[in-house]
Structure formats: structure tokens, C-alpha cells
Amino acid sequence: MTILSEELDYESTSGREYEKTYLIPFSWSVADIMEDHWNDEKDVVFLENLFHICFACSHYSLCARLIDLILRIQKAGDIFDYNDIANSLRNKVDLLLQFDKAGEAEKLLADIEELFDKNNASDEERNILKYQYAVMYQVKGQFEKSKLYYQQCIDEAESTDYEYSNRDKATAYANMGRMLTDSGDYTEAHDYLRKAIELHGEDEDDADIMICYCTLAAVCTELMQIGLGTTYVEEAVSCFEKVIKFREQKLGMHHADTAVAYHDYAFFWYVLGVYDRALKYNEMAYDIEYELFAKHSITRLRSLNTKALILFEDNQQEEALGIFEEIIADCESMNADYIVDLADFEYNYAISLADLEYYDRAKEMYEKCIDIWKGLSEEGFRKLAEAYLGYANILLMEGNIKAAKTNYVLAKNHITEDFYLMADVMDNIALCSMAMDDVDSSAREFAELVQLLIEFNAYDEETKLNLCNNLAEVIKADEDIQKNIKPKLLLCLKDDDASLKYINDYFSEIKENLAQNVEQTYGCLSRII
């Protein structure tokens, strides 16, 4: 087994060919044979090595078969202690997280904790779960919980009680930075990633530093998307150029990781609106991926997905739609390991179709990606929230207000810590109730929204103005609502000074908007009034 792992360069052309022609068929055969014919501890070690190699190659269906076989052998024998089983369960947790099955992973982590309890495991043994808990909550979208566990990892790395190197500390900071990137807290993510780079040092031949630079470049790209482009463009370009130079020199022009760097740089130029340069780097990535992985590969499809996004924004919408159709059809023909990618492709296609007012086809795509994500996740999954929101917006524009409200509520159920997304969805729920002349429900829903605004101290003028304009437009359509909504809303609010002040300010702005005959509106409901 050692020879096999040493010979296989996972990302090289020869490695990929070796993987396709030998490793995968061999691994399936081994699993079949050992279902009924296994001998001793050495067989488990062999299967574990095989599992890790297949995991590195992203063959997760095969990994699932191997890890279940390993656990069955371990539980049937008397030569394995609780740590052996715990390590296998941890490997299975890693696998489940690759499928976005955070709920199942959480149950498995609880099983490991129970196993540790029964065997009086040490604190050191228990500490190994902290990182997995952090990742699990990250996948679930419960970022505050994830942050707590990542912080524990950082605290441990910074502790004087342990012999941690700067590299260990840098890894802890980098992991926190990646989580904060996922949570949308890009400014704080930026700070942690800079700390990680400082701890690593300025050795640009260090692969770990390059990973930090790569993530930092992605963070800068996201910060550009939220309107801070002038501040972060230069830093992003510097990071990307460092990563590209490193990978071209160390890995070569035809390596998979070099292709990833080109692809990420393409997305950066896409965000900046420089579409010719975005297409240039995306094609460079695509050519490498096609050479290494052939036509029917997920890496090729991911590059085509980015190309479709670029073309769509570059006023080549019909060509972009054709590419979306192609990649979805190809992905559907591939194995279940890529079901998460399929949902992402369908979601991007749905957004594009909706933008062109191809509503029937857009709804079909939303329904497909929703079905996939429902099967992979549980409450608190942001992607589901965004899909339900997009689907509801179409229904609202079509005048199907009742169905729209139902889907807005479903979106709300999958939002955990994104305040602005939650406020947008709750606003739409209340507006739908108003459109259906359900003043009581609308008042209750607006009251819930106001309490959210108070809780998060969201007194910024833009947020208030957006909400006031929405409500003002409805009131203009029905004067009776103006008479009824405020007292009902006040009844639903908590009886405190903050609530009273907020709602009085709120309605003062509404009256001002009405007096000025404000035409600008926010939210989808204004389109059908």
C-alpha cells in the first residue's frame, strides 16, 4: 500500500490516468472481495490507506463503500479499541461533509462523543473533534457556532501549554478566515488571512502561504462585489499574481492547480466587469482541464459554468443559456458524487432565465435545485433559502401571491445568521399578507421584522427607507390599511421604549414618502400594485 501511495501523483496527468485505469477498478474489486474475506488488522490498515487515496481523488461513492466496510470489520472484531473506531467514524464525518450532509455528520460526532464518554477518553482525545465540529457547523450555515469551535482551535494553538509552531497557528487563523468567508464576514476574514500570512512569513515558495493568498484573493473579490472594489483591487491582483507565478513555476503550465488559479482569476475579472480578460483566463483554465480530465469531467463543467456567467453579463445571453443547458445535461449523466455541482448549475441557470423573464423554465430549474438541496441538508441551509427566495419572487411577479408567501416562509426557515437576507424575506412575507388584505397577519409579520431590526440595532437610514417605501406603496393602494396597520402593529410589538420609538419614526418616514409621492419602491410587490 505504501508503494501505491508513493507512486500516485494525484494531480498529474500520469496520476489521473493511473487513477482511471488501475486505482478505481482495483479499489472496487478489493471492496467486493473483502466483504466476506478479511483476515486481520493489516486488512483494515490497507482499506484505510485506500480510503484516503480515493478521498484525495474525490471518489466519494467509493469512499462510502470502503468506510462502511472498515467499520463493519472493526465492530465485528475484538482487536480494535475505541480509538480505532472513533478514527473511522471521524473519516466518515469528513465524507458526509463533502456531500453537505451536515445533519448526519452531527449525529455521528455525537456518537463519537458517546464512545469517548464510555471509555473515559482524555481531553486531548476529545480535542481532535473541535475542528470537525467547526467544519460541520460551517456546512450547516450556523456560523456563530462554527466560529466558537474555530476560536477554540486558535486558543489552543496560541496556548503556552502546548508546543505549537507558527505554522500551526497560521493554519488555525487560515481555517477561521475560510469560515468567515463562507459566512459573508469578508472584512474579518481578510484580517485573519493576513494574520495567517504574517505567521507563515514571506516565503513565496511555501505552498501553505499560497493557499492563504488564494483564499485572500477570493475574499478581496467578494469585498469588491459589495462595493469596496477600489480598496481591494490592487491587493487581489497582487495575491492572484503570486499564486499564478508559484503554480506555473512549481507545478507547470498544465497542472490542475494552475488551472484553478486561472479560473479564480477569471472570476475576479468577471466581478470587475472586464469580461474579455475574464474569458481569457477562463479559457486558459478550461484548456488545461480538458487536457487533464477529458471532456466529461466536473472540472470542465465548472469552468463552463463560469464562462456562461461571464457571457450572460457581457450581453451574450442566448449563448450563455446554451452552455447552461449543456453542462446540466452532462452533469446529470455523471455519478451521484457531483449532485451538489448539479444543483449549483441549475441555480445559476434559474437566475439567468428569470432575468430574461423565461419564468416557466426558471421555475423548473428552481424546483430541481431545491429538490437536490432538500435531500442533502436540513434547516439553516443558505442555498435553499436563496432558491426559495428566487422562486417566490417569480411567483410574486406572476401575481400568485399566496404561493409566493408560502415560498418566502420556506426561505425564512433556512436563514440563520444573515440579517439582511432575513429582513428582506420577512418584509416580503408581510407585504404578501397586505396584498391579500390580511391586515392582522401583516401587522404581526411587520412587528416581527421591526423586533429584528431593533435586536440587530439596524437603525441605518437605507434599511428603514427601503421598508418604509414598501409599506408606503401598499398604503397608497389602500387607504384603509393606513388606518388599521399602525394600531395593530403597535399591539404586536413589545411594550418598550425602543419599539415605540422605532415604529413612530417608521411611520413618520412613511407619511413623508406619501406626501412627496415617492415613486421609487423596493421589493417585488411594488411591481404588481
Among 218, 250, 282, give the residue marking a domain's end: 250
> For residue 440, is it within any domain?
yes
**Any domain includes 467:** yes
pLDDT per position as a tens digit, 444-493: 787 777 777 766 665 555 655 566 666 665 555 555 555 565 555 555 55
| Last residue of one domain, picked from the residues 250, 274, 291 | 250
On whether residue 43 sits in a domain, the answer given is no
**CB 197 within 8 Å of CB 191:** no
pLDDT grade for 390, boundaries at 50, 70 and 90: very high
Which of 9-18, 314-323, 348-357 bottoms out in mean pLDDT, i.e. has the lowest? 9-18
Asked whether residue 365 is assigned to any structural domain, the reply reads no
| Domain boundary pick from 232, 250, 268 | 250
CA separation for the pair 520, 196 (Å, rounded): 45
Q: Helical H runs in 10-59?
A: 13-18, 24-34, 41-56
Q: Cα angle at 286 between 282 and 289, to 5 degrees?
A: 140
* CA separation for the pair 449, 421 (Å, rounded): 12
Residue 513 is assigned to a structural domain of this protein:
yes
User: Which residue in 118, 54, 47 sits closest to 86, CA to CA?
Assistant: 118
Domain assignment present for residue 13? The answer is no
CA dihedral (341, 147, 219, 203) in degrees, to 10, reads: -110
170-227 residue pLDDT tens:
888 988 998 888 777 788 889 999 998 888 776 666 677 888 898 899 888 888 876 6
Q: What is the pLDDT of residue 335?
A: 67
Residue 139 maps to a domain: no
Report the CATH number that the domain containing residue 223 is assigned in CATH.
Answer: 1.25.40.10
> Number of folded domains in the chain?
2
The boundaries of the domain holding residue 485 are: 418-529
- On whether residue 462 sits in a domain, the answer given is yes
Residues with Cβ < 8 Å from 242, sequence gap 6 or more?
A: 204, 210, 213
